[in-house]
Amino acid sequence: MEKSDQELFVEQVREHHASLRGFVRSLGVNPLWVDDVAQEAFIVAYNRLDEFERDRDFGAWLRGIARNLVINERRKDARRKRILSDNLTDVLLSTSSVPEEEAEELNDRGLAKVNALRDCIQELPEKSLSLIHAKYEQNSSALDIAESLGMKAPAVRKALERLRTSLRKCMEKRIELSSA
């Protein structure tokens, strides 16, 4: 009696599950997400089972799928990182006291604000840049930042508050100077 594709697939999952998880981990995937990526690879493999040639190595095919999933995730992550300055801009703008009536004017001056922010960030000392990078590019918590930089979490929160204020003032000054 010949086994069905589904039965063969279940056998392959059992045979390759541990090695696939190890492979995914070796690609630098966050340990908290290794199982999810491996499971997604199995789902993709199942959905494309008709594309698999039985004389090929199933494990190699599965690792190729997992590799492509990780590559795609890195691309998505890179796209997110390109717009994180907008996230920081949103935070800085929300800390400024701008009346609702001026919101349209802000949209018109949005590019000037982004450029001013970029210039102001470039002038920051290294430690301040590290804080900004950890908070707004890596989305780290104050506790995580504190541990990595040898600080206390309340000190990190206060430093970030001061940095936001300083950046907002720098931006306002630059925009004022450019419109004068």
| Domain 5-82 in CATH 1.10.1740.10 | yes
This prediction has a pTM of 0.45
Q: Give whole-number Cα distances, 2 to 8, 31, 125, 151, in Å.
A: 10, 38, 69, 64
Q: Which CATH number does the domain 84-179 belong to among 1.10.10.10, 2.60.40.3500, 3.40.50.300, 1.20.1730.10? A: 1.10.10.10
Are the C-beta atoms of residues 25 and 31 closer than 8 Å to each other? yes
Q: What is the pLDDT of residues 21-37, one digit of tens each?
A: 988 888 888 888 888 99
Q: What is the pLDDT of residues 92-109, one digit of tens each?
A: 545 544 444 444 444 445
Max Cα-Cα span within the chain: 85
Domain ranges of the chain: 5-82, 84-179
Q: What is the predicted pLDDT for the residue at 82?
A: 46
Q: Where are the alpha helices (DSSP H) in 96-152?
A: 103-108, 110-122, 126-132, 142-149
